[in-house]
C-alpha cells in the first residue's frame, strides 16, 4: 500500500544546520517516542549493535568544553577557531543524541559491517522521526567520532564508537534546498 504523504515527506526532507536550531527541543515524552520509532531498523541477529547518549540542558556545552580541552592537548598548535568550533558545536541544539555503534568484531554470524550499517540506519531514523514529530534536525560527525580519547569522554567501551551526533531542535530559518542527484545518474541495471 502506497502512502503519498509519507513519500512527499521523504521527498521534502532537509537537514537544518545545528547552529540554526532553536529551543524548544523534544519533551522527555516526545524523545521517548522519537527513539521508540527510530529503533525499528534492520538488525541482523537482533544484536542491538547501538545505543544512544543524550545531551540536554548545559550538557552539550560542557561536552564541547571537554572536547576543546582534549583537542588542545592532542594538538597544541590547533587554531583558536577550531577550538571555538569544538566548544560551540554541541551548545546550540536543545538536544543532541550521540549514536554509539557497539560492534562485535568477532561475531561468528553477523559481520561487523552489518552491525555498523544498523547503527547508521538508527542515526537516519532519528533524523526522520524527529522531523516527522515536527522538529528540525541535522546529522553531524567530526573528529571526535574517530578519536579514542574522545570516546573515553563519552565513557565508551573499546568495542564502541560514536558514529553520529543527531542535533534536534526547533526550526529557525527555512533551510535552502540543495541540488539532489539525478535518478539516472545513480540507478543502473545489472547487465550480466
Q: pLDDT tens for residues 70-103?
A: 999 999 999 999 999 999 999 989 999 999 999 9
Cβ density class 69-102: b for 16+ within 10 Å, e for less? ebbeeeeeeeeeeebeebbebbbbbbbbbbbbbb
pLDDT of residue 169 exceeding 60 = yes
Q: Which residue has the cell 561536552?
A: 63
Report the domain count for the chain. 1
Residue 61 has pLDDT above 60, yes or no: yes
Residue 33, in any domain of the structure? yes
Q: Give the full edge-to-edge strand order of the sheet including 50-56.
A: 50-56, 95-102, 160-169, 136-140
**Nearest CA to 19 among 74, 110, 90, 118?**
90
pTM equals: 0.94
Ramachandran quadrant class, 19 (left: phi over 0; alpha: psi -120 to 50; beta: rest):
alpha
Structural domain contains residue 189 = no
The CATH number covering residue 40 comes to 3.40.109.10
Residue ranges making up the domain that contains 80: 16-175
Longest pairwise C-alpha distance within the chain:
58
The answer to whether the CB of 25 falls within 8 A of the CB of 138 is no
Give the gyration radius of the chain's Cα atoms. Answer: 18
Residue 67 lies in a domain: yes
Task: Evaluate whether residue 11 is within a structural domain.
Answer: no
Confirm whether 1 is domain-assigned: no
Per-residue confidence band for 172, with pLDDT thresholds at 50, 70 and 90? confident
Report residue 128: phi and psi, to 5°.
-65, -45
DSSP assigned state of 133 = T
Q: What is the pLDDT of residue 1?
A: 57
Amino acid at each position: 500500500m502506497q502512502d503519498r504523504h509519507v513519500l512527499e515527506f521523504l521527498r521534502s526532507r532537509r537537514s537544518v544546520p545545528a547552529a540554526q536550531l532553536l529551543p524548544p527541543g523534544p519533551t522527555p515524552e516526545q524523545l521517548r517516542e522519537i527513539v521508540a520509532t527510530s529503533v525499528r531498523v534492520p538488525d541482523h541477529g537482533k544484536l542491538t549493535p547501538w545505543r544512544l547518549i543524550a545531551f540536554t540542558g548545559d550538557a552539550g556545552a560542557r561536552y564541547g568544553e571537554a572536547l576543546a580541552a582534549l583537542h588542545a592537548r592532542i594538538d597544541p598548535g590547533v587554531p583558536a577557531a577550531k577550538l571555538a568550533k569544538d566548544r560551540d558545536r554541541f551548545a546550540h541544539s536543545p538536544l543532541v543524541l550521540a549514536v554509539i555503534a557497539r560492534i562485535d568484531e568477532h561475531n561468528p554470524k553477523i559481520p561487523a559491517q552489518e552491525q555498523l550499517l544498523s547503527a547508521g540506519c538508527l542515526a537516519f531514523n532519528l533524523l526522520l522521526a524527529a522531523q516527522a514529530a515536527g522538529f528540525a534536525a541535522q546529522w553531524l560527525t567530526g573528529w571526535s567520532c574517530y578519536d579514542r580519547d574522545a570516546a573515553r569522554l563519552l565513557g565508551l567501551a573499546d568495542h564502541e564508537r560514536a558514529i553520529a551526533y543527531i542535533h534536534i531542535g526547533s526550526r529557525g530559518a527555512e533551510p535552502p534546498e540543495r541540488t539532489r542527484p539525478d535518478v539516472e545518474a545513480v540507478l543502473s541495471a545489472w547487465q550480466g
